A and B are shown apart, each in its own frame.
Chain A
Amino acid sequence: MTPFQTVSGVAAPLPMANIDTDVIMPKQFLKRIDREGLAIGAFHDLRFDETGKPRPDFILNKLPYNAAKFLICGDNFGCGSSREYAVWGLQQLGIRAIIAPSIAGIFFGNCEKNGLLALTLPQPDIDHLMHCAMSGDTCMMVIDLNAQIIHTASKRISFDIPDARKQLLLSGADHVQQTLDQTDLIATFEADQADRRPWLWSRG
């Protein structure tokens, strides 16, 4: 996956709470076996009307937000269905980070596995970022993952991130390979479980 180190770009405000994955990636874009062609689907029904024309009022259709790299969001962003298509679509739209007071669990995990930075911050920090994002004059931000700092025009906001997550994002490493490097531990666990709880191994 693409490493996330220092990224600068436009932050778009999406203050609504409970933006679910049906809204982020509607069902008609889920009928595929690859991860391609999903940019058109991202926020589709908010971005386009019934005839497929862009809705001029939607934030991501306006300058400069049509080039947004960061979304400053309301509570519980990404709730609902587990569909990872939502994350792939946001990335294909150019989004590199989601910042919200809370982010739904499965969506959060999906972001992490694809190198999309998902950050939950305290409300006062969100309020500042939202305020900055609301104006075309102050919506440029820089996220320095290594230093764990978001730079806005007027402030530096620091954030916490567990080191294992941070290293995975910085390096863009293969998360499956990281675990496969611990195959011995898994094999030991399996042997122990087969001994203690043999019924769990009756299916093979």
Chain B
Amino acid sequence: MSVCPSMTMPKTLYEKLIDQHCVTRIDADHVLLYVDFHIMNEYTSPQAFAGLHSAARPVRRAGAHLAVIDHVNPTRPITDLSQIADSGGRLQIETLGQNCARHGIELFDLFDPRQGIEHVVVPENGFAWPGMVIACGDSHTTTYGAFGALAYGIGTSEIEHVLATQTLVYRVLAPMQVRIDGALPLGVSAKDIVMAFVKDVGAAGASGYAVEFTGSTVAALSVEARMTLCNMAVEAGARAALIAPDATVFNYLQGRPHAPKGADWEAACVDWQTLQSDPDARFAKTVTIDASTIAPLVTWGTSPDQSVPITGCVPEQADARALDYMGLHAGQQLTDITIDRAFIGSCTNARIEDLRRAATILRGRRVAGGVTALVVPGSKQVRAMAEDEGLDRIFKDAGFEWRGAGCSMCLAMNDDVIPEGERCASSTNRNFEGRQGRGARTHLMSPEMVAAAAVTGTLTDVRTMMDPAP
């Protein structure tokens, strides 16, 4: 009669992924977790390699790492690293190249046609698969949850740990279900869903949790939209975000350069079908969101959870420090706020579908006088695809600058910096004080909302610029 409970206990997808990667249990809260794939950039990795070298340790599994230049590079065209004026950034780029050569790690350097933002490059080249554990020295690594991979950001000491051991000491989180049902209204996209989630639960509302997004709305999203959703879950404090992999994911992956091939592909697909939460699995917390009630959201403050629908006003009880920094007052109508800058880019919203939606708004329109507008495609491949489709012409004809790939003005580590006091409509993920430049004022929104604001010069409801649904 009696069966071992651990064998029959229903499990969430998150718990299954932990089980599949647990090298050994350390204590009640921690496991030694195996890392299948690890991605590095030029700015959080140098000290990790230095630590490895000073202890004379080898890289355990060079084939399980990929390095990409994205954070500090300029987005204006250059042909040689010597043209980078910023010596610190140049040194970081050169150092990553030397470290990869020394250890036999694959690198997409600045002049590689596959270069771009790590979280755009990795999926488009088929490196991220369902069922993997993926780590990267960047908080937005949650992006790969869109594939059903347990993916999370780590610090530099942990990068060193992965390089040396291919594992991480990992604190197991509590599973949270975020169930999203209902049809997405016209003019509302995955960015608005995740901003609604962050607003609902707060900037620390998912701290200590691994989020699994479920429901009919999520099932209907493209893989790129799912990436946007998982990417920004970290702004609610979630250290992991997951979506159970399905045919949409398998179709996206099949045939990409680094996806499994042949018999490997067939066997993987069989295994990946099991990567779902069991019907009776218990979540520590469940949040529900009705997608049909979401309107395009815009942040008014300096934390990603400080947002309101574009039809609304700055809240009456708004945090005084945030209002002072943003140069706004309580009760102010959002659509009365004028902007100086428009930025479309970042690992949240610079994939081809993002550029297509923004271009739809910009076709036949012009950026308002006094607004500086910038598009930074997420990767060179996205840029080339957009040029094949003629999107670059739409952006340029509208008055946007059409740049090279990188993180750029999302965090302003390169020379794309917003001057003090200027206000930016931005398709990025963080509106922190000083994020886009000292004293710069950031309003987060979807790329189509950025396009609308660029055209009118004020925060604008993109729905007023769209043809009604047929």
Contact = CB atoms under 8 A, between A and B. Distances in A.
B138 interface: yes
Interface stretch (A74-82, A89-97, A124-132, A147-155): A74-82
A30 B89 CA distance: 9
Nearest to B90: A31
Contact of B413 (A30, A109, A193, A199): A30
Interface string B150-174: 0011111110110011110101000
A174 B164 CA distance: 12
Interface residues of A, number: 57
Contact of A113 (B46, B95, B158, B203): B158
B166 A186 contact: yes
Contacts of A156: none
Contacts of B261: 202
Given A162-B30, A175-B157, A102 B204 contact: yes
Contact of A199 (B63, B95, B268, B321): B268
Nearest to A165: B30
Interface stretch (A5-13, A15-23, A55-63, A137-145): A15-23
Contact of B23 (A174, A180, A186, A203): A186
Contact of A33 (B47, B164, B169): B47
Given A109-B154, A110-B155, A203 B64 contact: yes
A97 to B, nearest CB: 18
A31 B86 contact: yes
Given A104-B204, A109-B155, A199-B264, A82 B139 contact: yes
A83 interface: yes
Interface residues on B, range: 35 or more
A16 B23 contact: no
Interface string A27-51: 1001111110000000001000010
Contact of A84 (B28, B157, B321, B411): B157
Contacts of A117: none
Contact of A82 (B57, B155, B433, B434): B155
Given A22-B432, A179-B167, A202 B264 contact: yes
B258 A203 contact: yes
A16 B325 CA distance: 14
A20 B158 contact: no
A18 B57 contact: no
Contact of A179 (B165, B171, B271): B165
B283 to A, nearest CB: 19
A50 B64 contact: no
B434 A26 contact: yes
A163 B237 contact: no
B137 interface: yes
B267 A105 contact: no
Candidate in B28, B156, B161, B261 with the most chain A CB atoms within 10 angstroms: B156
B36 interface: yes
Contacts, number: 186
A198 to B, nearest CB: 7
B337 interface: no
B430 interface: yes
A122 interface: no
A112 B186 CA distance: 46
Contact of A105 (B86, B88, B237): B237
A3 B207 CA distance: 28
B167 A186 contact: yes
B411 A27 contact: yes
Given A179-B32, A185-B24, A113 B157 contact: yes
Contact of B435 (A22, A104, A182, A197): A22
A52 interface: no
B96 to A, nearest CB: 9
Contacts of B95: 33
B29 interface: yes
Contact of B138 (A17, A82, A179): A82
A202 B86 CA distance: 39
Interface string B23-58: 110111110101010000001101100110001010
A189 interface: yes
B46 to A, nearest CB: 4
9 cross-chain pairs, A with B, having the tightest CB-CB distances, nearest first: A31-B88, A204-B63, A113-B157, A33-B46, A110-B155, A76-B204, A199-B264, A84-B155, A84-B156
Given A81-B411, A109-B154, A109-B158, 11 more contacts: A26-B434, A27-B412, A76-B204, A81-B138, A82-B139, A106-B154, A113-B157, A162-B30, A180-B165, A193-B34, A197-B271
Interface of B: 23-24, 26-30, 32, 34, 36, 43-44, 46-47, 50-51, 55, 57, 60-64, 72, 86, 88-89, 91-92, 95, 129, 131-132, 137-139, 152-158, 160-161, 164-167, 169, 171, 203-204, 207-208, 237, 239, 258, 260-261, 264-265, 267-268, 271, 303, 321, 411-413, 420, 430, 432-435, 438
10 contacts: A27-B434, A32-B91, A82-B139, A104-B207, A105-B208, A106-B155, A163-B27, A179-B165, A183-B165, A203-B64
